[in-house]
Amino acid sequence: MLTVLIYLLVMVLVGGLLFLGASAVFGRSEELPPLPPGTTATVLPAENVTAADVKALRFQQTLRGYKASEVDWALDRLGKEIDSLRAQLADRGAGIGDVGVSGESETPR
């Protein structure tokens, strides 16, 4: 029984090593070539971010997922864009709120 357990343990160990070796050699089947060190594919426009811009975001992959600094940068940019749009809506909403029930402006002109 001990021999079977040792064989099983050795097979799992060899399989794991083969998997790690193949992963290191072949990668994750990415279609894009790896980025040069110190560069990023993460791009957002300075203003007027659209849904297509967000869908086109690509983050550099690291050992445990995506590069945290790139994700943080994108979230900060999107947060600023949302804050800007909400401020614009609030400014426009303030002008609409002055209209009375009769449809005329309550403030004298």
pLDDT in tens, 67-78: 788 888 888 888
> Is 102 domain-assigned?
no
Same domain? 42 vs 89: yes
Do 43 and 74 share a domain, yes or no? yes
Confidence tier at 47 by pLDDT (50, 70, 90): confident
Contact 49, 78 (CB under 8 A): yes
Whether residue 84 sits in one domain with residue 40: yes
Count the domains in the chain.
2
14 and 61 together in one domain: no
Residues 39 and 27 in one domain: no
Pair 15, 2 in one domain: yes
Phi, psi of 99 (to 5 degrees): -80, 130
Task: Report yes or no: 107 and 95 within 8 Å, Cβ to Cβ.
Answer: no
Domain holding 3, by residue range, is 1-31
H or E element, residue 105: none
- Domain assignment present for residue 1? The answer is yes
Question: In terms of pLDDT, which residue wins out, 89 or 44?
Answer: 89
Q: What is the pLDDT of residues 71-106, one digit of tens each?
A: 888 888 888 888 888 889 889 888 776 555 545 544
Contacts of 43 (CB under 8 A, 6+ apart): 56, 57
Task: Name the one residue in this structure whose structure tokens are 């590069």.
Answer: 67
